[in-house]
């Protein structure tokens, strides 16, 4: 099983939580973690390596020059001003990973795995570029309109993706990304997710919700991946009933004594709170 993350120094502790949950719930799987980064410190790289190898996993690092990402948009004029350039690193996965790896599972770092990933990994995507879940509520509808998706197609969430690397290589995906920035860059609000939807929405296999649960559920039986798509568990204001799982794995890291903090500003707290409510209401 080949699992990919993109991360910077700001999110490395959250990625470690996700990695520990994966290894815990998939003890019989041979897993290689591919860490795509832009300037991850040597200290953090060594720590992540030791964390994985101590638990009999394998790890490879891929560093992308930050200058390569300058053409992408981040900051106040985007849909989420807290997103860094690291979000765009997933666009380079097909070119970065060894050519003998034909598929990979990409995961965001605001995730905990609570059951086996084998069923997800074994999904047949030979006829598709990727498999991903429809985004939720208003984000799905507004995303489809913004990106000009044809009727009958839905806007998807890029936080969990089973990727057909060979198909993307064959279509020269990164070149298509460059062209898209020129022709449709004005549409981009939600970073890499908009680009992926704009280019691949017709070649996407919809996933079941069990593989990317974004609602605030307390069900630990029917789902394998809990995605904290609203308020993150490291915020005091996070209402998610399963946020304790995040702290369970955090205690196994060098950040064991970290406590939840408040959202960055009152306005941001309101925005993220409203987003969490919308997730709950739009997905009863």
Q: What is the pLDDT of residues 162-187, one digit of tens each?
A: 999 999 999 999 999 988 888 887 88
Residue 174's region, left for phi above 0, alpha for psi from -120 to 50, else beta, is alpha
pLDDT at 190: 79
Residue in the block written with tokens 């970073």: 191
Q: Is the pLDDT of residue 284 over 80?
A: no
Residue 42's region, left for phi above 0, alpha for psi from -120 to 50, else beta, is alpha
More confident residue, 20 or 189: 20
Q: Convert the pLDDT of each residue in 112-160 to its tens digit.
A: 999 999 999 999 999 999 999 999 877 788 888 888 888 889 999 999 9
Q: How many CB atoms lie within 10 A of CB 102?
A: 14
Q: What is the mean pLDDT of residues 256-282?
A: 66
Q: Is the pLDDT of residue 17 over 90?
A: yes
- How are the residues of the chain apportioned to helix, strand and coil, as percentages rounded to the nearest 5? 40, 15, 45
Report d(CA 269, CA 250) in Å as an integer. Answer: 23
Q: What is the mean pLDDT of residues 44-70?
A: 92
pLDDT at 232: 93
Report d(CA 126, CA 120) in Å as an integer. Answer: 14
Helix axes 191-200, 173-184, angle to 10 degrees: 110
Q: 243 Cβ partners below 8 Å, 6+ apart?
A: 228, 233
Q: Is the pLDDT of residue 75 over 50?
A: no
Report d(CA 125, CA 115) in Å as an integer. Answer: 21
DSSP 8-state assignment for residue 39: S
Residue in the block written with tokens 């449709």: 184
Query: pTM of this prediction?
Result: 0.88
Helix axes 243-250, 12-25, angle to 10 degrees: 90
pLDDT at 282: 53
Q: Convert the pLDDT of each residue in 85-99 to its tens digit.
A: 677 889 999 999 999
């Amino acid at each position: 099983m080949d699992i990919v993350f993109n991360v910077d120094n700001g999110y490395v502790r959250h990625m470690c939580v996700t990695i520990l949950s994966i290894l815990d719930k998939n003890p019989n799987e041979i897993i290689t973690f591919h860490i795509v980064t832009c300037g991850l410190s040597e200290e953090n790289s060594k720590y992540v390596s030791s964390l994985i190898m101590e638990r009999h996993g394998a790890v490879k690092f891929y560093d992308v020059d930050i200058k390569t990402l300058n053409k992408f948009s981040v900051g106040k004029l985007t849909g989420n001003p807290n997103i860094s350039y690291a979000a765009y690193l997933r666009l380079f996965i097909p070119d970065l990973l060894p050519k003998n790896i034909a598929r990979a599972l990409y995961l965001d770092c605001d995730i905990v795995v609570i059951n086996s990933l084998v069923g997800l990994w074994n999904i047949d995507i030979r006829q598709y570029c990727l498999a991903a879940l429809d985004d939720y509520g208003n984000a799905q509808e507004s995303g489809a309109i913004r990106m000009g998706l044809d009727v009958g197609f839905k806007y998807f969430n890029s936080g969990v993706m089973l990727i057909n690397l060979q198909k993307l290589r064959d279509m020269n995906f990164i070149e298509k990304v460059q062209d898209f920035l020129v022709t449709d860059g004005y549409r981009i609000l939600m970073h890499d997710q908009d680009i992926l939807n704009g280019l691949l929405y017709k070649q996407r296999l919809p996933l079941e919700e069990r593989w990317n649960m974004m609602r605030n559920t307390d069900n630990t039986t029917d789902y394998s991946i809990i995605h904290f798509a609203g308020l993150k568990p490291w915020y005091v204001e996070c209402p998610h009933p399963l946020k304790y799982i995040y702290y369970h794995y955090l205690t196994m890291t060098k950040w064991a004594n970290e406590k939840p903090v408040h959202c960055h500003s009152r306005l941001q707290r309101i925005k993220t709170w409203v987003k969490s409510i919308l997730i709950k209401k739009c997905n009863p």
